Structure 1
């Protein structure tokens, strides 16, 4: 009977570095982190037609459909007066029938709009147009991390350069009492200049039917909440950054 060395992963056979967090196999952790995930556990959303969106937003030039998931559909649009492109996110239409959704949407969207960080996608506007609850956001001309990894293999330097700005952006949000809830490669956008930005901050919170005005936002915004989130985020981010570093050794 073959004996597996104690520093060898029983699943993939790779050597586990002595400084690996919690003795985990970096290769397996990295592969699992990059595996496709569902949209925060929400059912797929059938996007509205391009014609209906254009009719609801006559002040915008809606140029095309970008994509959709369990938390809404995204369209590319242009603001003629400002001569800039924006991303128009339409939330699932069935949300309007949920008790208290309108107040929850207003509250959370205002919190998102106050977030200002170079590595967080900016929320320019939000509201309701006809039957559509929407968020008007900064348009990122680029790809998400999943798409990037499908086209090329990142060098260790390139991979590690993504970690600090993500940590800084998460810290900024945590200091404002906002937790992303759905960090994954699809929500990490990289523009043509190589700048990474986190998208969909708080969208899972808005869509979650069980959240109420007296739910998590209030608890997160109590005095000292930012300190607790800061300690928590460090504990969770350090193993991930170590796994990312070791995966390219």
Structure 2
């Protein structure tokens, strides 16, 4: 009985899964998607950057969440900043989304909107919707602890020219299924855009950011 060699990433030569998009490993796929394209970068910098919230230093976030390892900033926008963290007790990566409590105090409706996202996501359990693990306030921050999606958003994939028309069409049914499920649970997303559609390293689709969702 013969054994075939494991598939390798053509960019770096590391072993990858058969389902990896365009044959690239997660690290190389992310590197391709993060390349500058003349527009805003993956963190939202660009013409609308002034609309983004200020990003707190990593040390301040780590001090507010001493029971987790705060690894790096992975995104920012109108609803706050997102950090990649590790939960040592579970040996699990997660995404930590935060907004400053001082910002919430200046705009109470904004804080309520953030807390509502946690309540909405906690109700939704679907393979194509990002799961929420926890929410609340710690130190100077309101937070959502969410499932970590190892990949890129649809906008990044499009800018990296790593998304064929056939692959784009394959995303549509998954998003429709996620939206149909959310509607059946009484939740209307109201902010469907490429930045809120995530693609993991195995090509699976996840709908994220219910920050301006509405209870039906």
Structures share fold, TM-score greater than 0.5: yes
Q: TM-score, normalised by structure 1?
A: 0.62
Instruction: List aligned pairs for 1:85-164, cutoff 5 A.
Output: 85-93=93-101, 94-99=103-108, 105-152=114-161, 154-164=163-173
Q: Is the 8 A contact 2:113 2:212 kept in 1?
A: no
Describe the shift of the 1:117–1:48 C-alpha distance in structure 2 as closer, same or farther (beyond 3 A): same
Higher helix share: 1
Spell out, residue by residue over 1:40-81, the C-alpha distance to the aligned partner (whole angstroms, 9 max, x if none).
Answer: 9x9220111100000000010001111211111000000001
Structure 1 spans left out of the alignment, 5+ residues: 1-34, 206-215, 221-249
Q: Is the 8 A contact 1:45 1:92 kept in 2?
A: no
Match of 1:225 in 2: none
Match of 1:191 in 2: 200
Match of 2:86 in 1: 78
Figure out how many residues of one structure are paired with residues of the other and give that number: 173
Q: TM-score, normalised by structure 2?
A: 0.71
Q: Is the 8 A contact 1:85 1:139 kept in 2?
A: yes
Distance in 1 (CA, whole Å) between partners of 2:109 and 2:167 is 44
- Of residues 180, 199, 207 in structure 1, which corresponds to 2:189? 180
Match of 2:18 in 1: none
Distance in 2 (CA, whole Å) between partners of 1:60 and 1:153 is 34
Distance in 2 (CA, whole Å) between partners of 1:173 and 1:51 is 36
Aligned-pair RMSD on alpha carbons?
2.7
Spell out, residue by residue over 1:167-208, the C-alpha distance to the aligned partner (whole angstroms, 9 max, x if none).
Answer: 01111111122222221111111011000101112x135xxx
Distance in 1 (CA, whole Å) between partners of 2:190 and 2:109 is 21
Match of 2:15 in 1: none
Distance in 2 (CA, whole Å) between partners of 1:55 and 1:137 is 19
Describe the shift of the 1:64–1:177 C-alpha distance in structure 2 as closer, same or farther (beyond 3 A): same
1:130 Cα deviation from its structure 2 partner: 1.0
Instruction: List aligned pairs for 1:1-249, cutoff 5 A.
Output: 43-93=51-101, 94-99=103-108, 105-152=114-161, 154-201=163-210, 203-205=211-213, 217=215, 220=216
